[in-house]
Structures are given as C-alpha cells and as structure tokens.
Structure 1
Amino acid sequence: MRLAILGTGLMGSSASARLKELGFHIVLWNRSIEKTEVIARDLGVDIARSIVEAISSVDYALAFLADDSALLSVVSSIPRADGLIFVNFSTVTPKASIMASEFLSTRGVCYVEAPILGGPRIVREGKAIILVSGPSHCVGSIEGILKALASDIIFISEDIGKASALKLAYNNMLITSIASLAESIVLAEAYGLSLDIVKNVFSKTVFKDLVERYFDRLISEEIPTGFKLSLAAKDMEYASRAAFDKGIPLPLASAVEQLYMLASKAGLGDKDYTRIYLFMKRLGLKT
C-alpha cells in the first residue's frame, strides 16, 4: 500500500515512522524540504518535491497539517486524481474540512476527516484515538491505515465536519483544563503553599486523573514538545470560530485562547502547551 504523507511536523513524522515500521510504502512531502530530508534519511523513504509528485503514484494521501490555510493550500494544489483517497488527520475547523471535501470531490478524490486524540508518542506507539467522518466506502478502505495508528477508531458520521467539530470540542475541554490547573497552582504558590501539598490535596479530589497526568508535567522546567503552545492557541481560536458559525458563545474558550496567544507572543509558541504554567507564574512574579 503506497501512501503520501503531507506534512512532517511532530504528528506527521511520528505517523511516518509508525507506518514505515509496519511495512507501508511511504513518500514524504513538506513545505520545508530541508527538515523532510532529515526525516526521510532516517526512515529510508522517498521525498516528493511537490504535492503533484507526492500523489502521482499513491492510493492514499494522509495530511498532517498545521491549520485551515495549510489544508486548503494543499488541497487546491491537487489535480484530477480519480480514485485517490485523501485522509485529513489535521485539526481544522469544520468549515475548512467541508470546503476541502467539496473541492476534492470535483477532482475525483474521496475525502475523509480523521482527527487524532493523542500526541506524537501515542501515534508512534499506535495507541491514538481517531475520530472519523466520511463516506463509508472510503472509510472502509483505510481501515488498515487507521488501525496502524490507533487503538480506538470511532466512526462519527458520513457527514464531513462532525469529526472535526468533536475534535475541537475535546481540545477546548483539554486546553481549558490545563490552563485552569496551571492557574490554580499559581494561586496556591502565591500564598506560600508547597507544590507537594497542592498536588496531594488536588489528587484526592474529582480532578485526580488530571492532576496525576499533568501536574508534574506542568511544573517541570523542561519537557519535550508534544503539542506546541502556538497550536493550542490556534485550536482554541478554531473552537471559537466553529461556535460562532453556529451562533453560540464560548466565553471560556475565548479567554483561554487569549491567554495562550499571549504566551505564544512571549516566545513560548514552539514549546509544549503545558508551559502555560511557567508563563502564568512569570506574570505573577512581575506584580
């Protein structure tokens, strides 16, 4: 099975390594060719210099792209390609996903949206959760690819946009929870409470799972980037956009979006999104 991987960021490179390991034949494309050359050399796979070249001899194009603009730019570069299945693993707005699907249908391409719950490490281990929307006959043909990356595949609907909406709803809850935990730790520290006491008390409450998974990660000085803080800001903006399109307010999402935007502008955009705690702590130290 020949696959084109479009986008070799943290998620795309992890998926590439996993799929190559399981015997899929892959070709890589990315806007930054230098970065892709390193990944391709490590994996022993081919590089395409253009999107047209990438999809010219494959059956499936798998997109791991940063945002709506990147998705629509890639999609608009695809020529007539009858029979190609385009699987979008990116986190985008429902509106952009629908636009991509509608455009690709005029090119003879079947579009499936398959946003991922889980970071690069989970994808590399094949333990992600994938939400899927798209025509059932196309979804059925990519089952092997999905099973290579995920331990749980949830079919949402044949209607494009619904899986993307659910991914944004999930990220809204996750990112807001992380910001709330960080804010609460900063408040407790401001009154001289030790991190050990704070963690001990929080872990005895309804927030036990959140604390056990994220407390130490939040307060660590340095951790590998699994989810860029700038992309967390983008996802919160997209949640607000998606809500606006349906005429509903998301006041918490808007506030958290602004918080992450400020942290990104302060130089933390390429750091892990849990660095929001360090940003908030710095703000407190300046008062």
Structure 2
Amino acid sequence: MTTIAFIGLGIMGEPMAGHLIDGGHDLIAVNRSQGAVERLVDRGARAGHVAAAVAEAEVVITMLPDSPDVEAVAVGGDGIYANAKPGTLHIDCSSIRPDVSRRLAEDGAQRELRVIDAPVSGGQAGAVEATLSIMVGGADADVEEARPLLEAMGSTVVHVGPAGAGQTVKAANQLIVAGHLELLAEAIVFLEAHGVDLEAAVKVLGGGLAGSAVLDRKAAGMLTRTFDPGFRIDLHHKDLGIVTSAARDAGVAIPLGAHVAQLVGALRAQGHGGLDHSALLLLVEHLSTPPKDA
C-alpha cells in the first residue's frame, strides 16, 4: 500500500483516483470543490489540503487543467516541493507545456524529489474504464516505480523518454485527435447533405481504413448532437496552443494542425468552450449553412 496525495479531481481525475483506492492504496484527496473529495472519502479516501497531504505522501499525483495550475501547486510556498519529504515521487498527469515539465523536474531535483510527466489520453470514458493511454517522461527508475500506479489507471503505459517527453507526445496526440474530429465532423455534414443512412455509413467507415478510436467513441454523440463533455473544447484549445507553440519553437510546419487550432479557437469564441471537443460539428454546420436571404 502506497500513501498517495492526489491533487485535481475533475471529470478525469476523480475516476483515476478511484482506481487507486480500489487498488488498496491510502489516498488523500485534494481538490478545490469538495463534491469529488466527499465521493472519494465515501470510497475509502481521506480528505486533505496540499501542504499537509504531500508532507505525508510517498507519491503525489497532479491532474490539473494547465501549466500555471501545476506550477502554482508544485512550487508555491504551500505547494508540493516546499512540503514533500526528500525522495517523494511527483507524477504529473496533467497536459502542460513540455518546457514547464522539464523545469519542474529540475526544480524537484533541487529539493531531492523525483518528478515524471505522465499525461493521459482517452477522455472521461478512458478514465472511468481505466483504459487510458499514458505517455511517460522521466528517469528510468522513477518511471518503473510509478508503473504499477499508472497501470491501475490506464491500459497502455509507455516510457517515451526523459523529462518533458511525455508532454511532447501528448501534444502530438492532441494534434492528431483534433484533426480526426474535424474531418469526422466534415464527413458527417457531407453525408447528411446527401441523405445517406448515417448509422450505416459510420459502421462501414469504422470497419475500414477510416476507422479510429475517435470515430468509435465520438461519432454516435455527434450524430445525436450530444456534446456532454468528455473532453472540453476549452482544454483542447489549450492543448493546441501548446503544440503550435512547440512546433514553432522547433521550426516544424504543421499547416493542417494550425488550421484546426484556429477552428477550435473559433468555436470557443462562439461560447462553446464547455462542450465536448466533438462539438466541432457545430462549426462545420455553421460554415455549411447558407444565409437565410440566399
């Protein structure tokens, strides 16, 4: 049994933490809003606050929205690095900038802490089903120590390189997912315009080369215009900002990715940031609708 401080219990963090409780670990739940904390306490967790929780923990896991959120919790005076015991392992499952992950690993090392970046892919469904894909950056020994915990939350856990490498691979993942979603949205609007049996079309597309996890998980909700967030447009907008910035820094051209990033930004500007990222369909519909006086 490992004592784990789990910080950040959103729609993905809460089920991830739940799997660790089910695995028999002593989990201290830390979150701004207390609803998720109370639900986890009912399942056997303890409630806590950052400084006291990390002082007691052997492992600290963060699952937070963005780079500034992780930095504030990690390096602030009441944060992880000021209060954790030497040797504590910090596993950051958030999706943040690779350069921030590298800096956190350096800051942690100065405090005799071990830091790995382990962003996840699979959305809310993957978190609930413990089928997340987890891309991990960090020292070999630290990653292997973390592996049993990561495997309790995900079905694919791969060590992809040193500190920051996990975030780099996650950025590439978000680039691919956004492109798939945009093309799936365009395909659905195209098929509808031609009066095709949509369910039959999606079935046959899924069985061919066009098939993908994105199509399997998102097409049904797109057909019914159900956009309850498994992964919000706001967060994908943030992630595409990460990949476009990192690509620019590396001198890499991502013309299609940059265009999809603009489309996601446009949908967010229209007030749809809280919807699932499959709501890109709404933007394609809007662009395909002729003016009323046409």
| d(CA) in 2 for partners of 1:273, 1:69 | 22
Letter in 2 for 1:226: G
Question: 163, 169, 172: which is aligned to 2:172?
Answer: 169
Which residue matches 1:8?
9
Alpha-carbon deviation of 1:121?
Answer: 2.6
CA distance in 2: counterparts of 1:253 and 1:45, whole angstroms = 41
Structure 1 length-normalised TM? 0.90
**Greater Cα offset, 273-282 or 182-191:** 182-191
CA distance in 1, matches of 2:37, 2:117: 27
- Structure 2: unaligned runs, 5 residues or longer: none
**Whole-angstrom distance in 2 between the partners of 1:204 and 1:100:** 43
Q: Distance in 1 between matches of 2:72 and 2:284?
A: 35
Task: Number of aligned residue pairs: give it.
Answer: 284
Alpha-carbon distance in 2 for matches of 1:42, 1:271: 29
Amino acid at match of 1:160: A
Return the offset for 1:264: 2.0
Contact 1:36/1:47 (8 A) holds in 2: no
Q: CA deviation at 1:22?
A: 1.5
Q: Distance between the aligned counterparts of 1:253 and 1:106, measured in 2?
A: 37
Distance 2:153 2:200 in 1: 39
Q: Decide whether the 8 Å contact of 2:51 with 2:83 is kept in 1.
A: no
Q: Which residue does the alignment assign to 2:73? A: 74
**Aligned counterparts of 1:117 and 1:237: Cα–Cα separation in 2:** 17
C-alpha separation in 2, matches of 1:201 and 1:3: 45
1:90 corresponds in structure 2 to: 94
CA spacing shift, 1:24–1:196, aligned 2, 3 Å: closer
Range 215-224 or range 135-144, more displaced: 215-224
2:51 maps to what in 1?
52
1:277 & 1:261 partners in 2: Cα distance? 14
State the 1:173 CA deviation: 0.6
Amino acid at match of 1:150: G
Identify which range, 37-46 or 261-270, moves more after superposition: 37-46
User: 2:245: which partner in 1?
Assistant: 241
The DSSP-based 3-state class of the residue aligned with 2:183 is helix
Is the 1:63–1:88 contact (alpha carbons within 8 Å) kept by the matching residues of 2? yes
Q: Secondary structure at the match of 2:156?
A: strand
- 1:265 is matched with 269
Of 189-198 and 141-150, more deviation after overlay is shown by 189-198
Distance 1:226 1:196 in 2: 21
Instruction: Give the Cα separation in 2 of the matches to 1:121 and 1:200.
Output: 20
Query: In structure 2, what residue type is equivalent to 1:13?
Result: E
Structure 1 residue 42: Cα displacement: 4.0
Regions of 4+ moved over 6 Å:
none
> Structure 1 residues 127, 194: closer, same or farther in 2, change over 3 A?
closer
**CA displacement at 1:135 relative to structure 2:** 1.2
**Counterpart of 2:155 in 1: which secondary structure?**
strand
Residues 7-156 of structure 1 aligned to structure 2 (within 5 Å): 7-30=8-31, 32-49=32-49, 51-77=50-76, 78=80, 79=82, 81=84, 82-156=86-160
Q: Does the Cα contact within 8 Å between 1:168 and 1:238 map onto a contact in 2?
A: yes
Q: Is the 8 A contact 1:20 1:26 kept in 2?
A: yes
The Cα offsets for residues 8-56 of structure 1, whole Å up to 9 and x where unpaired, read as: 11121011111111211111112x233444434443422223x212201
Match runs of 1:155-194 below 5 Å: 155-157=159-161, 159-193=162-196
Aligned equivalents of 1:213, 1:7: Cα separation in 2: 25
Report the CA distance between 1:75 and its aligned residue: 1.3
Q: Which moved more, 1:56-65 or 1:113-122?
A: 113-122
Could you say what secondary structure the match of 2:56 adopts?
coil
Task: Note the C-alpha offset of 1:196.
Answer: 4.6
Moved more, 161-170 or 202-211: 202-211
- Alpha-carbon distance between aligned partners in 1 of 2:43 and 2:286, rounded to the nearest angstrom: 40
Unaligned runs of 5+ in 1: none
Structure 1 position 202, deviation (Å): 3.9
